[in-house]
Chains A and B, each alone.
Chain A
């Protein structure tokens, strides 16, 4: 008996050890499987709202590579009692925004592993910790997210910064009816990722816009084109934008991170091209953005720059057939439509970090009035132009007709001849320029109207990406909130009745019948 008892005790002891070992093995397997480099995530949620964009993932990867720690401290709203339907709705919205923010922060944490820490504070259970936190990072109210990266931090309000709430201004109500607030959009990822990017980037790059080759100062919105809105956009992104006038013998200022030459109408003297070449050969980055003008003399060839950087710019306009919004077919020669060309993801080179995010996410770029652009047959030594950055769909080249303007009619004639005139045209080019001391500068050429006041609102993300690339800021902007569209369900009363009948009566009844059949057959066999 004693031996039997000891044996049983020994077996239980062995079992306990086995349990402990099993738990440890399970823990190790889970830890390995949870490493960011080993784990995968498939997002099958509607509109892929469950995961963050590739650009946010890129941001988190940069934080991991730099061995930094990103912290999120979520201070929730305190519970409130509603006294009116409007207050009740607002409380529900705040609660929804808070939950969405928490879910989003889980995504950041899942991506970043130990490098991204998320903490949710209970105002009652964590009162001491909250006091310590608010002493370190002054917070005015509840419902905030504190983002900490090293010794820099930022505070966002969940309701005011991360959500767009319509308080009834846009809703059409019956006279006398009080509108209830609605949550229009949740901007969590866009705002949070942008704030993280600002915390990551500590420098204030200086971008110089070359003056004197346009009709008016490009940094204002005066005149035909105007880049004042672009200037504001870049300044909001933390860049310093300055005008630049080059006289004979001048050089580009030493603090320049990039120089931009936008929509010039003149070639300019050769000393300007010399100064720009010296700048690029020292590792600088130049942005050249020619577009087409109906005034023939305003279509500068930019020959001095072209000779130095291996590109050539023609006077012809790149045209392609566009759908006519006034009829249901394709109609050639509708000037209002033919001016602008939408560049889709298949026309963007995925091998360049500048265009890859747009290609991958299928985001379009609007290009207006592009001119023919290409590589020179012979480029100087150390200059390597690549015309594959952005290409158009098969297009023809419209011959200039002086002040009469283009008629946008496609080529006509024998089919083979016409087809030969349609080809993908270069709209964007990158030129690598070797310096004397081992640096490599770059020239980015975009043909057409892309960033002036007429098209900037369609291309703002691309503009920021371009200028971040030009100023060598690795984190490219372009994080756009995934606009979630409500998948509305409206069920009629008779449909509700049918649903009740089907789910509460039919299904259980069918199971009961099946059960009876099964047991009856068993009793017979």
Chain B
């Protein structure tokens, strides 16, 4: 199973790097990131607090957009394209388990996702130095913030793979993924006031709601340098559950 997973991983990662969509995402992201970083530096340049700069660097409007859009775009072709072209059937007849295929494709998307964010940390390390900001911007909240993005990304990528396996229409897979991410990021914010009275009555509702309130989790916890193990567990469990469902949907094809 492990061998099959690594073979799939390698193949999928190569296809992501040789795919114009992946590079387009990278280029557009870093162009937008550059403008955003410069504007933020300007805002903080006159006596601003470098600690808050670090948190804002990690969780911003641009990052929101990337969280919603990038994972579905990276994973939309994972299974849908192969279904459409017929190569999925060939893959399923090979002596490789569904779990290996799912994990391999998800890991490849996750590796690309990590490589999307890693340079932003390096950019900040360089910017802290004297020719640029010459400021003691703390790295710990930046690292925890990106850890949060990594975990959230792993969930969204898993969901993207799942939607991709449910349809042979690449655009439909992307749209479903974008909707899923958008709802998860925005809806808890909108429900905040309505949920409160119920949450006070039933503590379990509050616990679940807090874990689903991704804006709060990413912005007020991870981006501030706070690592809560229950949030890490929530992300990890969600990823595993979605990957399991993905394996199940793939397995359903064998049964037909």
**Which residues of A line the B interface, CB within 8 A?**
7-8, 11, 14-15, 18-19, 22-23, 25-27, 29-31, 33-34, 38-47, 49-51, 103, 106, 110, 113-114, 117, 119-120, 122, 125-126, 129, 486-491, 495-496, 498-500, 502-505, 507-508, 511-512, 515, 518-519, 522
Using an 8 Å CB-CB cutoff, how does the interface string of B113-145 with A read, 1 for contact, 0 for none?
000000100010011000111111110110110
Residue B92 is within 8 A (CB to CB) of chain A in the complex: no
Specify the chain B residue showing the minimal Cβ separation from A504. Answer: B34
Asked if A110 contacts B228 (CB within 8 A), the reply is yes
The dominant DSSP class at the B interface is helix
Given contacts A31-B207, A44-B227, A495-B132, is CB(A512)–CB(B255) below 8 Å?
Answer: no
Least Cβ–Cβ distance between B222 and chain A, in angstroms: 10
Asked if A15 contacts B252 (CB within 8 A), the reply is yes
Least Cβ–Cβ distance between A222 and chain B, in angstroms: 47
Given the complex of chains A and B, what is the CA–CA distance between A25 and B234 in angstroms?
11
A41-B226, A487-B51, A489-B50 known; 12 new pairs, CB 8 Å cut-off, are A23-B241, A33-B237, A41-B229, A46-B51, A50-B224, A489-B45, A489-B135, A489-B137, A491-B41, A503-B127, A507-B30, A518-B18
Asked if B255 contacts A11 (CB within 8 A), the reply is yes
The interface residues of chain A lying within 8 Å CB-to-CB of B126 are 502
Specify the chain B residue showing the minimal Cβ separation from A39. Answer: B230
The interface residues of chain A lying within 8 Å CB-to-CB of B224 are 45, 50
Asked if B44 contacts A489 (CB within 8 A), the reply is yes
Given the complex of chains A and B, what is the CA–CA distance between A19 and B238 in angstroms?
12
Given the complex of chains A and B, what is the CA–CA distance between A44 and B138 in angstroms?
10
Specify the chain B residue showing the minimal Cβ separation from A8. Answer: B256
Given the complex of chains A and B, what is the CA–CA distance between A25 and B233 in angstroms?
13
Asked if B45 contacts A491 (CB within 8 A), the reply is yes
Least Cβ–Cβ distance between B247 and chain A, in angstroms: 10
Residue B17 is within 8 A (CB to CB) of chain A in the complex: yes
Given the complex of chains A and B, what is the CA–CA distance between A519 and B50 in angstroms?
39
**The one of A50, A119, A499, A512 that contacts B38, using a Cβ cutoff of 8 Å:** A499
Least Cβ–Cβ distance between B179 and chain A, in angstroms: 16
Asked if B138 contacts A22 (CB within 8 A), the reply is no
Asked if B53 contacts A489 (CB within 8 A), the reply is yes
Using an 8 Å CB-CB cutoff, how does the interface string of B134-164 with A read, 1 for contact, 0 for none?
1111101101100000000000000000000
The interface residues of chain A lying within 8 Å CB-to-CB of B141 are 44-46
The interface residues of chain A lying within 8 Å CB-to-CB of B242 are 22
Specify the chain A residue showing the minimal Cβ separation from B141. Answer: A45
Given contacts A43-B226, A122-B193, A490-B47, is CB(A114)–CB(B203) below 8 Å?
Answer: yes
Specify the chain A residue showing the minimal Cβ separation from B120. Answer: A507
The interface residues of chain B lying within 8 Å CB-to-CB of A119 are 196-197, 200
Least Cβ–Cβ distance between B65 and chain A, in angstroms: 17
Specify the chain B residue showing the minimal Cβ separation from A4. Answer: B256
10 closest A-B pairs by beta carbon, nearest first, are A45-B225, A503-B34, A491-B45, A114-B203, A44-B140, A504-B34, A33-B233, A44-B225, A46-B51, A487-B50
Least Cβ–Cβ distance between A77 and chain B, in angstroms: 17
Given the complex of chains A and B, what is the CA–CA distance between A489 and B40 in angstroms?
12
Asked if A508 contacts B31 (CB within 8 A), the reply is yes
Asked if B226 contacts A51 (CB within 8 A), the reply is yes
What are 14 contact pairs spanning A and B, CB under 8 A?
Answer: A7-B256, A18-B245, A23-B241, A30-B211, A41-B228, A44-B140, A46-B140, A113-B203, A488-B50, A489-B49, A500-B38, A503-B38, A504-B35, A511-B30
Given the complex of chains A and B, what is the CA–CA distance between A123 and B135 in angstroms?
41
Asked if B30 contacts A26 (CB within 8 A), the reply is no
Least Cβ–Cβ distance between B126 and chain A, in angstroms: 7
Given the complex of chains A and B, what is the CA–CA distance between A512 and B24 in angstroms?
9
The dominant DSSP class at the A interface is helix
Residue B112 is within 8 A (CB to CB) of chain A in the complex: no
Given the complex of chains A and B, what is the CA–CA distance between A213 and B167 in angstroms?
91
Given contacts A491-B41, A491-B135, is CB(A45)–CB(B226) below 8 Å?
Answer: yes
Residue B46 is within 8 A (CB to CB) of chain A in the complex: yes
Given the complex of chains A and B, what is the CA–CA distance between A398 and B31 in angstroms?
72
Asked if B45 contacts A44 (CB within 8 A), the reply is no
Specify the chain A residue showing the minimal Cβ separation from B122. Answer: A507
Asked if A487 contacts B37 (CB within 8 A), the reply is no
Asked if A125 contacts B237 (CB within 8 A), the reply is no
The interface residues of chain A lying within 8 Å CB-to-CB of B244 are 22
Asked if A42 contacts B256 (CB within 8 A), the reply is no
Given the complex of chains A and B, what is the CA–CA distance between A8 and B41 in angstroms?
56
Given contacts A33-B229, A113-B203, is CB(A522)–CB(B49) below 8 Å?
Answer: no
Asked if A34 contacts B207 (CB within 8 A), the reply is yes
Asked if B230 contacts A46 (CB within 8 A), the reply is no
Asked if B230 contacts A22 (CB within 8 A), the reply is no
The interface residues of chain B lying within 8 Å CB-to-CB of A490 are 45-47, 135
Given the complex of chains A and B, what is the CA–CA distance between A117 and B127 in angstroms?
42
Specify the chain B residue showing the minimal Cβ separation from A23. Answer: B241
The interface residues of chain A lying within 8 Å CB-to-CB of B216 are 106
**The one of A18, A19, A33 that contacts B230, using a Cβ cutoff of 8 Å:** A33
Given the complex of chains A and B, what is the CA–CA distance between A103 and B219 in angstroms?
11
Least Cβ–Cβ distance between B134 and chain A, in angstroms: 7
The interface residues of chain B lying within 8 Å CB-to-CB of A507 are 30, 33-34, 119, 123
Given the complex of chains A and B, what is the CA–CA distance between A26 and B48 in angstroms?
41
Given the complex of chains A and B, what is the CA–CA distance between A122 and B238 in angstroms?
31
Given the complex of chains A and B, what is the CA–CA distance between A51 and B220 in angstroms?
12
Specify the chain B residue showing the minimal Cβ separation from A503. Answer: B34
Interface residues of B in 27-82 (CB under 8 A from A): 27, 30-31, 33-35, 37-38, 41-42, 44-51, 53-54
Specify the chain B residue showing the minimal Cβ separation from A487. Answer: B50
Given the complex of chains A and B, what is the CA–CA distance between A7 and B26 in angstroms?
43
Asked if A495 contacts B144 (CB within 8 A), the reply is no
Most buried by A among B133, B197, B220: B133
Residue B249 is within 8 A (CB to CB) of chain A in the complex: yes
Most buried by B among A38, A44, A129, A522: A44
Given the complex of chains A and B, what is the CA–CA distance between A113 and B119 in angstroms?
38
The interface residues of chain A lying within 8 Å CB-to-CB of B238 are 26
Asked if B49 contacts A511 (CB within 8 A), the reply is no
Given the complex of chains A and B, what is the CA–CA distance between A46 and B51 in angstroms?
7
Given contacts A491-B45, A507-B119, is CB(A30)–CB(B234) below 8 Å?
Answer: yes
Asked if B37 contacts A18 (CB within 8 A), the reply is no
Specify the chain B residue showing the minimal Cβ separation from A505. Answer: B34
Residue B248 is within 8 A (CB to CB) of chain A in the complex: yes
